[in-house]
Amino acid sequence: MSNFKGKMVRTCNHIGLFASDPEGLIAFYSEKIGFEKGEKRSIPAEVTQQIFGIKSRCSLTKLVYGSVVLEVFSLEDTKLEEKPTASKGYNHWGLAVNERESFIAALEDNDVPVIRIESRGRCVFFIRDPEDNLVEIFEARSLK
């Protein structure tokens, strides 16, 4: 692991989300949160098979919010299976914003339910998107 120390850049390039209703998911992130629509393209079934193990044409739409990029994937030839709630793998992603309280208020003004959880003397905030993906909202002090 010592090979990864030093001045290497450490950041998340993007987050990929499969959607059964891509238009609804894109509308949620763009209209309710403020993501901007970016590139849209089609991915051939052979490439989708190599990357995800699913042989189906796939559409990809990128959404951008500051340095955060979401890639919304939609299968064109196959239906998605429901992911069990208690499963291994990613279960949420975190969105860092400046002025979290103002951001939370704006979400609520846009009719986005905010989940508040008290933990160890502080409050942790989450939202769920229309595809049931859990997003943690936290304040990034370096963004101020």
Domain boundaries, the chain: 11-77+92-143
Overall pTM surpassing 0.75 (yes/no): yes
**Do the Cβ atoms of 54 and 77 come closer than 8 Å?**
no
So what's the architecture of 11-77+92-143 in CATH? Roll (3.10)
Is-contact 71 26, C-beta < 8 A?
A: no
Give me the sign of the Cα torsion angle 88, 76, 16, 9.
positive
User: In tens digits, what is the pLDDT along the chain, a chain of 144 residues?
Assistant: 456 666 666 678 899 999 999 999 999 999 999 999 999 999 999 999 999 888 999 999 999 999 999 999 999 888 877 776 767 777 889 999 988 999 999 999 999 999 999 988 888 999 999 999 999 998 877 544
92: its two tokens: 């949420």
Instruction: Give the C-alpha separation, 83 to 65, whole Å.
Output: 26
Check if the beta carbon of residue 37 is closer than 8 Å to that of residue 56.
no
